[in-house]
Structure 1
Amino acid sequence: MPEISQLSLLLDHLNSWSLYASPLSPPVTLTLILFAALTSALSAAVGVGGGTLLIIVMAQVMPVGALIPVHGMVQLGSNGGRMAMTWRHIDWQRFLAFLPGVALGAMVASWVLIRLPAGILELCIAAFVLLSCWGPDLPKRALTATGTLIAGAVTTFLSSLIGASGPLVASFIKQGGGERHDKVATFAACMVAQHLTKAFVFGMAGFVFRDWLGLIMLMIVAGLIGTRIGLLFLDKVSNHNFEGLFKWSLTLLALRLAWMGVASLSAG
């Protein structure tokens, strides 16, 4: 039948395209591109959460060795776009206090990274997500300039190990006062600095970014579109009704990821 022939031809083209654009299958690639747009829109609209959700989705379908560097470059593009669109609202004092810690955390992470056995990364991601969802708020003394520098170091180190330290970074930004747009813009700037270090850390560890460049670029473009859409709803979207569902969704995905980590450790 003509319809079946056309469908078969379309699938052949999609498979050929996938070989060049991504090491993953076409359905998985398209799913990740869609989630890149959706999670960027989420981060732009509610200030945080998109990067954590994206890495948990990616962890279900990607090799562990590629997970954090690919996620980092995608988030660099997404947060870079958000930073460019909101740069007038950045709290530069807090951002500049954050930068020295970023450099320190990246140096430590480059030494520790290659010493982790299989399964530890999955368990670290799962534990961090559960802590961000259900852990206590930060004390006020952690929000000083010194506390912000320490936060930059600790979260950058964790980011290279668990991929998505956004909720912890956002807790400093959100609890530090300021208007909603200021928090979103400053958070994006801090995450740009943090994700930028991953090119160095994982490059030194031997990760070949070129193999994943097609997927990274497609997800960045989708993320920029999602960011633009999310910013349109920044003043209209409320976190109140969404928070419970979002936390439980992350919790269930984190528990599954923890199970994968335990299985990897047991197999090892």
Structure 2
Amino acid sequence: MFTPWIVAGLAATIVATSFLSGIFGMAGGMVLMGFLLATLPVQTAMVMHGIIQMAANGWRAILWRAHVRWSVIGFYLCGAALSVALFVAILFVPDKPLVLIAIGVTPFIALLLPARFAPNILKPGHAVVAGAICTALHLVAGVTGPLLDAFFTRTELSRQANVATKAVTQTTGHILKIVYFGALTARPGDLGIGWELAVGSVALAMLGTTLARRILENMSDRAFYRWTNRLVLSLGTVYIVQGIWQIATR
């Protein structure tokens, strides 16, 4: 499953996508999932993505820990628990086209939300809703960055607080995803992920995240939000087309 060429491509992709997410707090996970789905079965791709993104987001949370809004996390976890309970009851495993389309439509859903319904992660009720929706999306699409970002864009948080707080919520989601796809819907031994690959992936994710820190420090808040929107909408379009193409060519 993990041929030398796949491992080499994965290594380069991990560093590049962790660097990208280290700057914008998301987007890298979308690119990484696209690579993994192109080379691996869905359950293996979900677990590998979870390991890599858990490391990248966890390390990002540590690097920016002084900026984390911890008041948000407890309410977010309450919502996450509701989604996990539902998915454990049904043990749903999506197919590749569904995952690709779900990833692709996420940023557009966030964009189309009316201003009067604008979510704000700093409001307790909104944080619970974010935890429920984003965790469900984690277990269907593997990534939630663009939709989660909708809960942050109207908060007027600094770019550091934005990235740091999202990193904590994302780390939680990826841990839940690893448990769900790696232990509840499959046996760990069937996934073909050795400890060497897991440890190496974690190290590369931390490297890419560390390299991005200076870029984020030097970027203005205005540029941060402008480029984030452009990036995720472009990626979303690509994934929607890929998902539809896979369905059409079955």
TM-score where L is the length of structure 2:
0.84
| Equivalent of residue 65 in structure 2, options 87, 90, 112 | 87
Deviation per residue, 1:19-71 (Å, 9 max, x gap): xxxx3221221111111111111111122211112112222222223222221
**Quick one: which of 185, 195, 208 aligns to 2:188?**
208
Given candidates 147, 162, 166, the residue that maps to 2:126 is: 147
Q: Does 1:71 align with 2:49?
A: yes
Task: Give the letter aligned to residue 44 of structure 1.
Answer: G
The Cα shift of 1:129 comes to 5.3
Partner secondary structure for residue 222 of structure 1? helix
> Aligned pair 1:255/2:241, yes or no?
yes
Q: Identify which of 149, 166, 171 aligns with 1:170.
A: 149
Q: Residue 130 and residue 256 in structure 1: after superposition, are their counterparts in 2 closer, same or farther (change >3 A)?
A: farther
Determine which structure has more spread, i.e. the larger CA radius of gyration. Answer: 1
Contact 1:122 / 1:260 at 8 angstroms: preserved in 2?
no
1:94-121 residue CA offsets vs partner (Å, 9 max, x unmatched): 1222111112112212233436567433
The counterpart of 1:52, out of the listed 30, 33, 44, is 30
TM-score, length of structure 1 as denominator length = 0.79
Distance 1:104 1:227 in 2: 30
Shift in Å, 1:163:
0.3
1:32 aligned residue (1, 5, 10): 10
Cα–Cα, structure 1 residues 172 and 129, in superposed 2: closer, same or farther, change >3 Å? closer
Could you tell which deviates more after superposition, 83-92 or 45-54?
45-54
Cα distance change on mapping 1:115 and 1:71 into 2, 3 Å: closer
Equivalent-residue separation in structure 1 for 2:79 and 2:237 (angstroms): 29
The alignment of Structure 1 onto Structure 2 pairs a total of residues equal to: 241
- The equivalent position to 1:114 in structure 2, one of 92, 99, 113, is 92
Alignment of 1:127-142 (within 5 A): 127-128=105-106, 131=109, 135-136=112-113, 139-140=117-118
C-alpha distance in 1, partners of 2:129/2:147? 12
Unaligned stretches of 5+ residues in structure 2: none
